[in-house]
Amino acid sequence: MHPASIGALDGLPSDVRDDANRVVLAEQRAAKQAEYDAWLKKEPDTVHVRDSKATDGPSVAVAPAAWAPFLAGAVAG
């Protein structure tokens, strides 16, 4: 049985479901990290900005020199 199936089952102790869900989360995170790393290799000198709530939406690509002043201003408030 796959951990995702165990994590969704009623009647199992919460610690068992929690462990199963953590395994699934780690697998999914590793897969997304690999996708992200491959994407970064394509354009290592570009900062990609997107809406974190719309992960499949468009992104804006800017040079790091253009991004740095914006970021500094955002941090400063």
> Within a 13 Å sphere around the CA of 20, how many CA atoms are in the beta-carbon half?
16
- Lowest mean pLDDT segment, chosen from 13-17, 38-42, 62-66: 38-42
Whether 40 has a pLDDT exceeding 70, the answer reads yes
- Considering only residues 5 and 74, tell me which one the structure prediction assigns the higher pLDDT: 74
**pLDDT tens by residue, 48-65:** 888 888 888 888 889 888
Q: What is the model's pLDDT at position 28?
A: 92
Round to whole Å and give the CA distance between 32 and 49: 17
Whether 29 has a pLDDT exceeding 80, the answer reads yes
Q: How far is CA 46 from CA 60, 68, 70, in A?
A: 10, 12, 15
